[in-house]
Structures are given as C-alpha cells and as structure tokens.
Amino acid sequence: MQTDNQVLSTELEDLNIECFQPMASPAEIKAQAPLSDKARQEVAAGRAAIKKILKGEDRRLLVITGPCSIHDPKAALDYAERLRKLADEVGDELCLVMRVYFEKPRTVTGWKGFINDPYMDGSFQIGKGMLKARELMMKISEMGLPLATEALDPFGPQYLGDLVSWYAIGARTSESQTHREMASGLSAPVGFKNGTDGSIETAINAVKSSRSNHHFLGMFEDGRSAVVFTRGNKYGHLVLRGGGGRPNYDTVSIMLAEKALEKAGLPARIIVDCSHANSMKNHELQPFVLHDCMTQIMNGNKSICGFMLESNINAGNQKIPADLADLKYGVSVTDACIDWPTTDRILHQAAEDLRKLNRAA
C-alpha cells in the first residue's frame, strides 16, 4: 500500500524520464582502456608544446585540424596517419594537433556525435561510445599526434581528459557558467570561441572566469558525486570564428580583439577558426581565410598564434543515410570539410611562408 508521501514523490519526480540505464564510471572505462606509457608521453609533450606557443615561447603556429566530427574510426585513423606524415614535414614551423570531436551541440535536433550514438542507429549506446572514443584517442596519441576536442558534456573530461592536449569551448557554451567552471579545472589549454552573434565580450569574460578558481558539483572517478575545487586554468585564450553574418579574422577585427584582450588584462594570443562564420559556412573558403591570416603574420602580426581547420579525407559533407552501407568514406556527416590534398597543400605553403619569414628576421 502506498503512503501519501510515496504518492506525492511519484507525482513530482521523473515525470518526463522514460528510463535510467547504468553507465560505467570513469574508472571502469579507464580500466578497460588504460593509458599507455607511450600515450602518456605524447599527451604531455603535446600540452607542453601548446602552452609554449600560447606563452610566445615557441614561434611555431598551432594548427588544429581534422574532421568536423568523428563517425568512422577507420577513416579517423587513416586521416591521423596522413597528418602524422605531414607533421614530420612541417613540424619546424607548425605544431599540428588533430581534431577528435565526439560530441556535437545541436540547435534543435540531429545526431549528437559518436559518444552519444556510436552506431548511428538511434540506439544511444553511450557507454560503448565512450569506450570506443577512448580506444581511438589512444591509438592516435600513440602515433605521436596531440589531440583536440570540444568540452561539451561536463562529465566527459573525467573519461577522456588524460588524452586531450587542447580543448575548445564552443560559441553556444562560452557563456555557460557550467562550462567556464569546468574549464577552470581542465588539465589542458582551453580556447573559448566568440558568440554566434560575433561578439567577443562573452568569450573574453569566459577566459577571465576560467582563469579563476571555482567550486561546483562533479564526480570522482568511481562515479560518486563530489564537490570540485579548481585552481583555475592559466591557459585559457580567445578563438575567433566569426558570427552575426560576418567574419572576424580581418586586420581590423584582429586589432579590435587585441585591444579588448589588453583591456581585460589578458595576453594578446588569438586562434582563428577558418571555418564556421569566418568562411560563411563554405568549406571552400577556408584556404582563403588561412591565406589572409598568414599575410597578416608575414606583415608583422604577433597575436595570431594558431588556426583551426575542418578537414577530412574527402571534401564536403553528407547526410546520414538510412542504410549506413551507403556512407561515403572519409566524408563528414556534420559540417562540410576541405579534403586532404587541400589540407596538405595549404599547410605546406603556410610552413614555407614561415620559413621565409624567419630566414629574413
């Protein structure tokens, strides 16, 4: 027989919850895919290099490149092998970091990424998605490539953070207190993107907030709830991605961003996202954005310290078909990307331009 209190509880809680399913704790996922010594060394080296670039102690440019999102681990490893070879060829001037984005924010609905739905069939096997993501990150790290991802789910870093060398906080979440607090405790540098309206104030405030200590609800590796006390992340920085119907990588926009950072007491270190609103969502314009920024650097700009590219094996994007056998290999299922030959060409050119600049210095 139900008591009055039990009836009241039933009427008030979980009214819109269909069900709960158990999820492996971070410790359990890590036990299934433990961090190897090789991966640990490579992650540490990647973070150290990125920090030096952000501090201006390494003259190389940071280049974060890779698929808009990961949906095919085989194609991701194929891309990683190509990027590893390219890194050997341009590593004197460019520090290459591979995008491994497993979570995708959605304005309304759509596929939310590999972790959320790894089989792309609506089965939402998040536990398997998390494990497969970790296994893939391990393989790529062991190749000697630093990894970059978007910090979207506040619990995600507990599962994957030991394999990440650079994080992005997206335009939709830079204003979120939850993400600012989370960033303050992340172990890798964090780039905050300006808002979708093009405003940089939100991102600059986020950088300042993430550099401070915070206290918030989180969890231990064993899955128990915890109160997290952070020290603050001293490597937060600004990422310009355009917005409000216009790009913001041009000379005037960069100058205004420098002044805003100076006013906020922050280092004038800027990463330019060559995609999104900066390319007006046309992947074919990404090389032109890169070229324009390289021209600024060749003419003496010191604040642009890196770039982001959305790049895949093959160009463009595709819708997820009803029959997954019809998926085109190496083609994005989210934002359109430039292809590998284009990526290879523009990064070789950027490296050569930097060599000329440094020889003339």
Using pLDDT thresholds of 50, 70 and 90, give the confidence band for residue 140: very high
At residue 9, does pLDDT exceed 90? no
Interhelix angle for 126-142 vs 73-90, to 10°? 30
Instruction: Flag whether 12 is in a domain.
Output: no
* Nearest by Cα to 185 from 153, 143, 160, 154: 154
Which pairs count as long-range contacts for 87-93, CB under 8 Å and 24+ apart, including other chains?
87/144, 87/145, 89/348, 89/351, 90/347, 90/348, 90/350, 90/351, 91/60, 92/60, 92/351, 92/355, 93/60, 93/61, 93/350, 93/351, 93/354, 93/355, 93/358
| CATH code of the domain containing 116 | 3.20.20.70
Residue 295's Cα: distance from chain center in Å?
25
- Phi then psi dihedrals of residue 337, to 5 deg: -125, 155
Tens-place pLDDT, residues 87-121: 999 999 999 999 999 998 876 678 999 999 999 99
Instruction: Flag whether 18 is in a domain.
Output: no
Instruction: Flag whether 15 is in a domain.
Output: no
Residue 304 and residue 169: Cα distance in Å, rounded?
A: 18
pLDDT of residue 346: 98
Using pLDDT thresholds of 50, 70 and 90, give the confidence band for residue 181: very high
Instruction: Flag whether 14 is in a domain.
Output: no
Supply the range of the domain harboring residue 74: 23-53+60-360
Q: Span 303-322, mean pLDDT?
A: 97
Q: How many CB atoms lie within 10 A of CB 338?
A: 26
In the chain, what percentage of residues exceed pLDDT 70? 97
Tens-place pLDDT, residues 207-217: 999 999 999 99
* Nearest by Cα to 203 from 174, 240, 167, 243: 174
- List, as one string, the DSSP characters of 238-266: EEE--BTTB---SHHHHHHHHHHHHHTT-
Instruction: Flag whether 206 is in a domain.
Output: yes
Look at residue 164 and give its three-state secondary structure: coil
Using pLDDT thresholds of 50, 70 and 90, give the confidence band for residue 175: very high
pTM of the predicted protein model: 0.95
pLDDT of residue 80: 98
Tens-place pLDDT, residues 12-52: 999 999 999 999 999 999 999 999 999 999 999 999 999 99
Using pLDDT thresholds of 50, 70 and 90, give the confidence band for residue 361: confident
Instruction: Flag whether 199 is in a domain.
Output: yes
- Phi then psi dihedrals of residue 63, to 5 deg: -125, 115
Q: How many domains is the chain partitioned into structurally?
A: 1
Instruction: Flag whether 80 is in a domain.
Output: yes
Instruction: Flag whether 4 is in a domain.
Output: no
* Beta carbons of 275 and 248 less than 8 angstroms apart: no
